[in-house]
Amino acid sequence: MEAPSPARLFASVAGLALVLLGIVGFFYTASFDGLDDYADGLGGLQVNGWLNLLYLAVGGIGLLVAGVSSRIYALSIGLLFVVLAIVGWGSEWLNVTIAILGLAAAAGTPKSELRAKPARQRS
């Protein structure tokens, strides 16, 4: 059995972790008052309703695409969380960690070599 690629592993683990973070975050706050209105929870993470929804959506997508297009997911999520870290939305250390892991997983996974095979011609 072949070991999963770094991107597939990232999509599965990060997807599950983000879904759990989004669910648990609603127990701390479900406030949709403002993007910068945070509550502290989960060991110093900043959470609010919008971040909880973002984590649920991004994590759910990761779980759905883990076996199909995990390299694109890892690259996209890495770039998204770089932007979130620069803007300062949410917990900066979480954003930086996910960004680095996502970009590293995308870089460590080769592009798919699956190409459409030409149809066989009748002799």
Name the residue ranges covered by the structural domains of the chain.
6-107
Least-confidence region, from 10-19, 73-82, 105-114: 105-114
For residue 114, pLDDT over 50 is answered with: no
Residue whose entry in the numeric block shows the structure tokens 């991107």: 7
76 sits in which H/E element: helix 70-87
Q: Which residues pair with 39 in a beta bridge?
A: 47
d(Cα 14, Cα 55) in Å, to the nearest integer?
10
pTM (2 decimals)? 0.83
Question: Given pLDDT bands bounded at 50, 70 and 90, which one contains residue 116?
Answer: very low
For residue 61, pLDDT over 60 is answered with: yes
- Contact in structure between 35 and 51 (CB atoms under 8 Å): no
Q: Which residues pair with 47 in a beta bridge?
A: 39
Question: Given pLDDT bands bounded at 50, 70 and 90, which one contains residue 121?
Answer: low
* pLDDT, tens digit (0-9, with 9 covering 90-100), for 37-53: 777 776 778 888 899 99
Q: Is 48 exposed, middle or buried (0-12, 13-18, 19+ CB in 10 A)?
A: buried
